[in-house]
Structure 1
Amino acid sequence: MEKWEYTIIKFGTEGYMGGIVDIAYFENKLNIMGEDGWELVSVVSANQHHGASREIVSVLKRKKQT
């Protein structure tokens, strides 16, 4: 049976009320994690305020090293 480990990465947003994501940084960070065997499984918009996200929470997984 395969076993997994998980990690969470939080990305802040910019702008007066939030909601603006630095896509290049987000993509670069995910590519770095992918090179290390991590796979993105979920992205959640968190800390919403007046319809804009102030934080993006990403969940990644990879096979557990035995």
Structure 2
Amino acid sequence: MERWEYRTLKFFTKGFFTGGTLDIKEFDNELNAMGSNGWELVSCFDTNQHQGSSKEVICVFKRKK
């Protein structure tokens, strides 16, 4: 039976009035670092802040134990 371990990362957006901007360079760097360590991204979603803007982006990764 395969066993998996999971890890969750949370990225906070910036700017309340600008609609919650995500630092794409930081986001890409972190995703690439996780991938280099054998983690696979299985889900990514955002949470609502105000009138549809994003407060944070949550990413879930898995890899075999």
- Relative to the length of structure 2, the TM-score reads 0.88
Q: Which runs of 5 or more residues in structure 2 are unaligned? A: none
Structure number with higher strand proportion: 2
Residue 47 of structure 1: how far off its partner (Å): 3.9
1:4 aligns with 2:4: yes
Length, aligned pairs only: 64
1:36 aligns with 2:37: yes
The one-character-per-residue Cα deviations of 1:10-65 (angstroms, maximum 9, x if unpaired) are 0000112442111110000011111111010000111432100110000000001x
The alignment's C-alpha RMSD in Å is 1.2
Look up the equivalent residue of 2:5 and give its one-letter code.
E
Q: Which runs of 5 or more residues in structure 1 are unaligned? A: none
- Relative to the length of structure 1, the TM-score reads 0.87
Question: 2:11 & 2:43 partners in 1: Cα distance?
Answer: 13
Question: 1:30 & 1:63 partners in 2: Cα distance?
Answer: 17
Q: Which residue of 2 aligns with 1:14?
A: 14
Residue 2 of structure 1: how far off its partner (Å): 1.2
